[in-house]
Amino acid sequence: MSETAEVIGTEEEKAAAAEAGAGEENKSADTHADDTAISESESSAEDVLVREGDIAGDYLERLLDLLDYDGDIDLDVEAGRAIVSIDGGDDLEKLVGPRGTVLEALQELTRLAVQQETGSRSRLMLDVAGWRAGRREELRRIGRTAAENVAKSGEKEKLQPMSPFERKVVHDAVAEVDGVTSESEGEEPKRRVVVVPE
Amino acid sequence: MSFLADSLEHLVRGIVDNPDDVRVDLVSSRRGRTLEVHVHPDDLGKVIGRSGRTATSLRTVMNSVGGKGIRVDVIDTDR
């Protein structure tokens, strides 16, 4: 009985293997087709982001001209989004503003200008005078310190209200510390990160 | 001071369907300086944005480069 079963089993396995083989062949054909499709869509996605950067660069360059501000515009594509950075003179501080509020507003307008040309929503990131880079480091410190405090005390800690970008950086920093987790509470623009013991 | 009107005009032109219809006037009165934004009626929604978000962004930028107290008014040309 068991032998028969084994034979049957083997037959079944063979059949399954054959099917799987056929399936795999199909699959590999599909995969191949997909690969081509993916690389094509990837390169066109990259093209879209490069174009986003170009439109944003033109929009901001003209603004700097009209304001008579010194600034060099650098375009990049990183992690699936266009990055536009402006670096230059002291005037640029005015385009950052207190706690980056003017930078957020200018980023919003730049995204709209890109959308106006391309017809689709843009997630481009604008940085001015390295503010985001500097602020990111500061936020990482804030997140790490709060997480370590909460891990020690076991009591939750509310942080200052922050923009979505800022909260994201803090959440990421908290996630690197064991025994704590973080969530956001409240409504924009007063939404804030709360660090809680796990 | 016309660089303020020119800058705002540029910012608005980039985000509307009818850029040629955009005009910004700098008006001074006893109440202070106001940048009056005139756009095609079809573009009003775009300049104001959802919950006034775009108009707020325009004000934030213009207040920063033009000094506090400068007002930005979006004018409905139909009126």
8 Å CB contact of B14 and A68:
no
What is B3-75's CATH number?
A: 3.30.300.20
| Mutation for testing the B interface, residue in A52, A54, A59, A63 having most B CBs under 10 Å | A63
**ipTM given for this complex:** 0.94
Identify which has the larger pLDDT, A20 or B43.
B43
pLDDT at B78: 57
Is the pLDDT at A195 greater than 70? The verdict is yes
Least confident range from A114-118, B13-17, B63-67: namely B63-67
Residue A112 contacts B, CB cutoff 8 Å: yes
User: Who contacts A6 (Cβ-Cβ below 8 Å, separation ≥6)?
Assistant: none
Shortest distance, CA A189 to any CA of chain B (angstroms): 12
Instruction: State how far the Cα of B74 lies from the Cα of B79, in Å rounded to an integer.
Output: 12
Is the pLDDT at A122 greater than 80? The verdict is yes
Report the DSSP pairing between strands B32-39 and B71-76: parallel
Q: Where are the domains of chain B?
A: 3-75
Residues in chain B within 8 Å Cβ distance of A101: 60
Secondary element (H or E) of residue A87: strand A81-88
Nearest CA to A123 among A172, A61, A79?
A79
pTM recorded for the entire structure: 0.74
